[in-house]
Amino acid sequence: MAKFVFSAFADEIDANFDKQIEGLKDLGIDMIELRGVDGKSFITLTDEEVYTVKSKLESNNIGISALGTPIGKINVDDDFEAHKKLLTRIMDIGDILGCKVLRMFSFYPAEGMSDEEFKKIAFEYIGVLLDMADERGFILCHENEKDIFGCSPERELELMQYFGGRLKAVLDPGNFAFCFEDASKGYPLLKDYIHYFHIKDADESGAIVPPGKGVACLEETLKAVAADRKDETVILTMEPHLMNFTGLSSLSKLDDIHHVYSFETPFEAFKVATEAVRAMVEKL
């Protein structure tokens, strides 16, 4: 059976980086997908601040599973040259931190743009980014997300096949459920390209709910992964989105996110989500 290893977007626990580390240790999670640090995106950190992050993680024996970058989360008519410079900076940060795995997206269409033209430009841009990443030994992992090109299982597969395995997938079944896509198709279609997983869930109304309470087919997916990836290590990055947190407004429109469960604190919400997924894994 596959060995499941937990990682986390710890900025959902607390904006303060020291409290993120404390929360991870309390939850028994020893990896992080770095995104928010002390209330700001890691991409804005100076080299000195990046070295401080590295020192804090190393002293607490917390590894970095991936960098949760915003690459590919712009319109295709935005400044792509500036976006390329951003990727270069992110790769510099990755080299300092010793992390070569970058989460990315597949762009938003310009207003009034046909789907055919959107696809052409998005694929061209992703090809350029892949060339940049390949040159420096980085792995780009595309997350399925609302409104970008790879928003459905079928379009995500189209992306993966077009780039012949150079582009990897980070599968978030909860995003398919959130977008009213059939999450049960995600893993069977994309399993040959998946590098790791993000974990959240949503119900039939699109409300974000604790893992296992929605229609993201998380248990079924984990069962299939366990059978397919015998003796492999599989990273499950917790991204439950069960409460609003610092930086959420830069990740998604706030009116996109709604909840039907309430929690006293972000840590409580994160703990409930983590324990639910651990229970799924233990049943396998």
Q: What pLDDT sits at residue 250?
A: 55
pLDDT of 149 strictly over 70 = yes
- What is the rounded average pLDDT of the residues 93-100? 98
Q: In 3D, which of 271, 251, 275, 238 has the Cα closest to residue 22?
A: 271
Q: What is the pLDDT of residues 256-282, one digit of tens each?
A: 788 889 999 999 999 999 999 999 999
Instruction: Assign domain 3-283 one CATH number from 3.20.20.150, 3.40.50.880, 2.30.30.280, 3.20.20.70.
Output: 3.20.20.150
Q: What is the pLDDT of residues 230-251, one digit of tens each?
A: 999 999 999 999 997 765 555 5
Q: What is the pLDDT of residue 254?
A: 47
The reported pLDDT for the residue numbered 255 is 57
pLDDT higher than threshold 90 for residue 172:
yes
Residue 11: band (very low, low, confident or very high) from pLDDT cuts 50, 70, 90 = very high
What pLDDT is attached to residue 245?
Answer: 72
In 3D, which of 283, 238, 217 has the Cα closest to residue 23?
238
Given this model, what pLDDT does residue 156 score? 98
What pLDDT score does 249 carry? 52
- Tell me which residue of 13, 40, 44, 42 sits closest to 26, measured CA to CA: 13
DSSP state of 15: S
CA angle 276-175-151, nearest 5°? 160
Q: What's the CA gap between 261 and 18, in Å, rounded?
A: 27
CA distances from 214 to 5, 71, 149, 206 (A): 22, 28, 24, 9
At 188-208, the pLDDT tens digits run 999 999 999 999 999 999 999
pLDDT at 248: 58
Residues 181, 151 contacting (CB under 8 angstroms): yes
pLDDT value at 105 more than 50: yes
What per-residue confidence (pLDDT) applies to 246?
Answer: 60
DSSP secondary structure string, 211-275?
Answer: TTSSSS-HHHHHHHHHHHSTT-EEEEEE----S--TTHHHHS-GGG--BS---SSHHHHHHHHHH
- In tens, the pLDDT along 35-81 reads 999 999 999 999 999 999 999 999 999 999 999 999 999 999 999 99
